[in-house]
């Protein structure tokens, strides 16, 4: 049931001024929602995929990518009530890298009770502000959720700029995938009216969009070639070095100018080393 038409504003007793809007009255704009991607990595239960799609429809999001799903017939999930079209239009990829190729901010979700976070952790109440800032400067955002069985792996998280954690009770820290998607999207939607406005025409943005995930991976590939040419470490350390390099580049928050200079520097060094 949609209560937004009935309860546009809540008013405290004895107050003449209405308080902030309640219940989906402060959703993000169409343009903002269009630049947010929900990514499910290796989901096992089609019902959870359907529930995630329904949660997205509840808050007006439409871009869903499913990475290497466990079940082949996930598009037929009966739990996608009111979101059947969204589920049918969802993208399917074989890797997280492919799913986030054009995103400038990738946010992983999970718990830090059994692992040490390798990237900055954003408290859930601050998620909307961080996402809003990236959208305001023209970026694209991916919100990434892991499988029901193991969550996001260390390799998955190496593609993420930030990690956000849903506060849960210690006795039951794990949350259903569809519920986790709903909680995170609510945090974004509920703060839609407080998102920063995009720069006005003719005004220079001092915080230009960061480079995309695929551009960072291209830079990482060139740096890795330089490391190999220099004999930086033995072959058995290549996977660990690649993981650390992904994290490092995302922490640096490079812009397009930084990317061009870094690519030029490492390509020139590589050319000299090969000669």
Tell me: the pLDDT tens digits for 21-36?
444 445 678 889 999 9
Q: How far is CA 239 from CA 144, 164, 223, 224, in A?
A: 22, 25, 14, 10
**Quick check: 16 pLDDT over 90?**
no
Q: What's 192's DSSP letter?
A: G
**3-state SS string for 21-62:** CCCCCCCCCHHHHCCEEEEEECCCCHHHHHHHHHHHHHCCCC
Pairing type for strands 141-145 and 36-41 reads parallel
Q: What's the pLDDT band for 159 if we cut at 50, 70, 90?
A: very high
Structural tokens at position 261: 């200079």
What whole-number distance in Å separates Cα of residue 33 and Cα of residue 2? Answer: 19
188-226 pLDDT, tens digit per residue, is 987 654 444 454 454 444 455 679 999 999 999 999 999
Helices (H) and strands (E) in the chain, counts: 10, 7
pLDDT for 209? 60
Instruction: Please state the length of the chain.
Output: 275
pTM of the model: 0.81
pLDDT of 74 above 70: yes
| 39 phi and psi angles, rounded to 5 deg | -120, 125
Over 90: is that where the pLDDT of 170 sits?
no
Separation CA 147–CA 67 (nearest Å): 10
CATH code given to domain 30-194: 3.40.1280.10
Q: Is 247 exposed, middle or buried (0-12, 13-18, 19+ CB in 10 A)?
A: middle
pLDDT digits (tens, 9 = 90+) for 239-269: 999 999 999 999 998 999 999 999 999 999 9
In terms of pLDDT, which residue wins out, 169 or 161? 161
The residues spanned by each domain of the chain are 30-194, 213-274
């Amino acid at each position: 049931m949609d209560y937004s038409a009935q309860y546009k504003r809540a008013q405290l007793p004895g107050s003449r001024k209405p308080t902030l809007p309640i219940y989906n009255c402060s959703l993000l704009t169409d343009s903002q929602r269009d630049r947010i991607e929900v990514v499910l990595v290796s989901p096992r239960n089609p019902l959870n995929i359907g529930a995630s799609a329904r949660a997205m429809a509840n808050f007006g999001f439409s871009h869903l990518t499913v990475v290497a799903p466990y079940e082949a017939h996930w598009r037929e999930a009966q739990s996608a009530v009111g979101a059947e079209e969204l589920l049918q239009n969802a993208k399917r990829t074989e890797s997280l890298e492919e799913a986030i190729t054009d995103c400038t901010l990738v946010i992983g979700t999970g718990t830090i009770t059994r692992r040490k976070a390798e990237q900055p952790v954003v408290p859930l109440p601050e998620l909307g502000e961080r996402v809003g800032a990236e959208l305001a400067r023209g970026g694209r955002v991916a919100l990434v959720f892991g499988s029901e069985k193991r969550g996001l792996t260390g390799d998955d998280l190496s593609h993420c700029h930030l990690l956000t954690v849903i506060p849960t009770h210690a006795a039951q820290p794990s949350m259903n995938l569809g519920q986790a998607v709903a909680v995170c999207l609510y945090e974004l939607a509920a703060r839609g009216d407080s998102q920063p406005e995009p720069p006005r025409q003719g005004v220079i943005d001092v915080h230009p969009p960061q480079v995309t995930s695929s551009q960072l991976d291209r830079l990482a590939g060139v740096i890795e070639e330089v490391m190999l040419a220099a004999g930086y470490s033995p072959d058995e350390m290549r996977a660990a070095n690649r993981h650390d390099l992904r994290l490092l580049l995302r922490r640096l928050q490079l812009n397009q100018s930084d990317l061009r200079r870094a690519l030029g520097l490492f390509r020139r060094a590589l050319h000299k080393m090969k000669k």
